[in-house]
Amino acid sequence: MKKFTPYFLALGLSVIFASCSSNEAEVIENNPENLLQSYTLKRDVTGAYSIDFNTTNNTDVTTVTNVDNSKEIILAETPQKTATKHSNDFSIENDHLKIGFFEANKGKRTNIYVEDENITFAKGITEFLNSYSITANGDGTYQLDFTVNDNVTTDFVYNEDINTYEVHLSNGESIIKEFSRQLNVNTNLDDLIRLNFVNHKYSAKSAEESLINKPKVIIEVMDSNNI
């Protein structure tokens, strides 16, 4: 029976450990960390929009305005230690707001589209909805929290015809003003989150009801394979 000398044994172990280290490095390199950990889109009672987001502690954050007036938040790795909590304020212009996250290390994009009215010019559309926020959780789900004004009834449905979550708001007696719902991405469709606040407006003059779909939110996540 052959015996391994300590030299050859040590050499074999070195090869094994070097191979494992190489494989581990390759796995890390092929699966870079998400620089964007979580974020919350918010509209407060004044109608102002903002976004709070968390990153890793080695993320450089740069916010730019594109030629179409959309906002892009670029996240890139840096060797220096950085802040992990960030907040940006935004304003609705021409009834639209587009915010994008780009994670440079993964080529991953997150696009947030909002259609709403500047509260300065809004006439009655905000009489139902007081404020709302949408939080992206780390597990791919989203948390919707919203508050309505006094004497507003609320109905939360999923409209399968247009693959959209809908919050129906109308005049009525209700003592509940704060609501929370989980939104799930339908991976069998287009991997989008669509949310509409549907305002049921009644005109005494025409005796007809009109539906005003604002705010409207679409969230889209694209990796480097489908950009």
Q: Judge whether residue 15 has pLDDT over 50.
A: no
Residue range 94-107, pLDDT digits in tens: 899 999 999 999 99
Confidence of residue 63 (pLDDT cuts 50, 70, 90): very high
Mean pLDDT of 129-135: 96
Q: Is the pLDDT of residue 27 over 50?
A: no
Digit-coded pLDDT (tens) for 149-186: 999 999 999 999 999 999 999 999 889 999 999 998 87
What is the structure's pLDDT at 3? Answer: 47
Query: Would you state the pLDDT for residue 185?
Result: 84
Q: Tell whether the model's pLDDT for residue 144 goes beyond 90.
A: yes
pLDDT at 162: 92
pLDDT band, residue 127 (cuts 50/70/90): confident
Whether the ω angle into residue 32 lies within 30 degrees of 0, i.e. cis, is: no
* pLDDT for residue 19: 47
pLDDT of residue 46: 87
Q: Average of pLDDT values for 55-66?
A: 95
